[in-house]
Structure 1
Amino acid sequence: MTTPPEDANARRAIKPVICYPNTTLPEVPIDEWVQALDGAEVIETVIAAPREAASFTVKAGQFFRIRSVDGPQVGDLNLWNLHDLTERFYSGKTRALHGTHVTTGDRLWSSFPALRPIATVVQDSLDWYGIDDFGGSVHDVIGTRCDPYTANLLSGDQYHNCCHSNLTRALADHTGLSLKDAEPLVHDVLNVFMCTGFTRDTGQYFMKASPVRPGDTLTFLAEIDLLGAISACPGGDCSSEHSSDAAACYPLAIDILSGTIENWKEPPVNSYDRSHGR
């Protein structure tokens, strides 16, 4: 270990600066949207079975709700532009703009070059959880998704119901793409209901038992026409492991709700002028 310099403590004491101040982002009219949500009714429900993924579509200006049923369960969510799968949820930029975990009023942003809001959290029944004494919180955009490649790397396991695999199969089934062509379109996720953080001593990504219970929900307004897929993680509530058949697992429900925001206009793509170079 390198010997600390004489001014080590002074360097550590320098106050941090927020990388991406978000006060200039377009304002979210959350009160208006919550009022619209209060009058919406379920028109379709899709079920993601335990250790499997389900796909769904939702129109711009409509609401969709992810709901816990039967028991504590977390889910890995992917979102794509229904008409252009190359535009998809960008978890890293969402994290940079809103923080490690999202809740009511936070937006999910799409990949370059569009970089626009594609869904906004309108209601979160777990918003009471906040940040616990371990630094954990709910609905993270810091993890990736459990996948068979990492499982093989760390333990030599050949496990085929990881969320990455489940999402790949769901996308292939919905679009008719081959598994080979669908897999590169699967991307880093919103870990719905998952309770995670970073350890204070080593900075490692951790998970702990999710506070989710049957009836808890996370509800979004779709800002563009979306194709979504969510995997009911094989880790159940992720209290001990996430890539095995040992954990108790339960379904997740995705409700599509009636109605749209009046005179809805989807957000324009980013206006950066690329003619001067990337």
Structure 2
Amino acid sequence: MDNQIPSLCPRLNKPRKFPKKPVTICYNKAAAVQVDRTAYDKARHDALLGDVIEKITVPKKSAKTWKMLKGDLCRVTVVEGSQVGDMNFWNLHNPKERFYSGKTRQLHASHLTTYDRLWSNMPYVRPMATVIADSLSRYGIDEDGASVHDVIGTRCDSYTIELITGKKSHDSCHTYLTRAAQDAGLTEDDVHDVWNIFMCTGFTKDTHQYFCKASPARKGDYIEFIADMDLIVGLSACPHGDVSVPVGLEVPDEICHPLGVEIFRKKN
């Protein structure tokens, strides 16, 4: 006996053929989002030959914020073991202008690398920072369709973890970034969707579900970006470490590590 409940609309049960349509790249490398690579390479050169104005260690399972002036270069480094980080960006002088991961994804790609930019929210829609170096750039897109440094996922948060597990949790990137934002004079409402650095992600080919793989980043890997405006930057060292364990399961402490931050400024 067929126990399947019939559709209320019989037309939906009829076989249907869908014609094949060509792919259209919606935002096909528009000139407005491209950078002068020679100018940014020079800016990187000048900054790295300048002064290290700040060094920060973001301990595992925590977050910190720092300030950058336009033209400053930030390098985030895997200093011990494989570790992913979640990043937020705010206009230093107007925190209502903040990083917009969705628009960045539209204008560039689902995963960022050298010469891609991080864009701000509407009504501003301006470049906040430009990626200028990436030690994982050769990872590319792997056999599972995964790549690194995504602008797909949001950020792990205690609300969703409680929804999945039924248990309260205070270990999440959202919680850490909220605390760090509050230290910078911001609020939880200012914390927003992130740039997931060193994180290896994609969508399954059959069900199109978001997936993670253990990050390929190892000690010494880094990513650099140059500030295109004065910024407050937030970085969380994710409590899921290299993100090899699904959300909701216990994460071994030994796969969690700190991240290092250096800020370079060119000499006057």
TM-score by length of 2: 0.89
Question: Which amino acid is the alignment partner of residue 68 of structure 1?
Answer: V
Match of 2:31 in 1: 24
Q: Is the 8 A contact 1:236 1:242 kept in 2?
A: no
Matches within 5 A, 1:213-228: 213-228=218-233
What's the counterpart of residue 34 of structure 1? Answer: 41
* Partner Cα distance (1:4, 1:170) in 2: 55
Is 2:79–2:258's contact at 8 Å kept on the other side of the alignment? yes
Q: Percent of pairs identical after alignment?
A: 47
Query: Equivalent residue for 1:60?
Result: 70
Kindly provide the CA deviation profile for residues 167-199 of structure 1, in whole angstroms up to 9, marking residues without a partner as x. Answer: 000010122x5xxxx111100000000000011
1:211 equivalent in structure 2 = 216
Deviation per residue, 1:136-160 (Å, 9 max, x gap): 0000000000001111111112110
1:23-75 alpha-carbon deviations (Å, 9 max, x no partner)? 22253122332233234242211111100001111001111111111110000
SS at match of 1:46: strand
Q: Which sections of structure 1, spanning at least 5 residues, go unmatched?
A: 263-278
Q: Which residue of 1 aligns with 2:244?
A: 239
Instruction: List alignment gaps of at least 5 residues for structure 2.
Output: 1-6
Task: Tell whether the 8 Å contact from 2:119 to 2:127 is kept in structure 1 after alignment.
Answer: yes
Find the partner of 1:252 among 251, 256, 259.
Answer: 259
Do the aligned partners of residues 174 and 17 (structure 1) sit closer, same or farther apart at CA in structure 2, a change above 3 Å counting?
A: same
Runs of 4+ in 1 over 6 A off after TM superposition: none
The aligned counterpart of 2:59 is: 49
CA RMSD in angstroms, aligned pairs only: 1.7
Does residue 106 (structure 1) correspond to residue 116 (structure 2)? The answer is yes
2:167 equivalent to 1:161: no
Instruction: Indicate if the aligned counterparts of 2:33 and 2:107 stay in contact, CA closer than 8 A.
Output: no
User: In the aligned structure 1, how far is the partner of 2:247 from the partner of 2:133?
Assistant: 26
Q: Relative to 1, partners in 2 of residues 1:96 and 1:27: Cα closer, same or farther, differing over 3 Å?
A: closer
Partner of 2:3: none
CA–CA distance in 2 between the matches of 1:43 and 1:254? 11
Note if 1:91 corresponds to 2:98.
no
TM-score by length of 1: 0.86
Rg (Cα) greater in structure: 2
Give the partner amino acid of 1:156: G
Aligned length: 253
Partner Cα distance (2:140, 2:124) in 1 = 31
Q: Is 1:233–1:242's contact at 8 Å kept on the other side of the alignment?
A: no
Question: Residues 3, 45 of structure 1: CA spacing in aligned structure 2 closer, same or farther, 3 A cutoff?
Answer: same
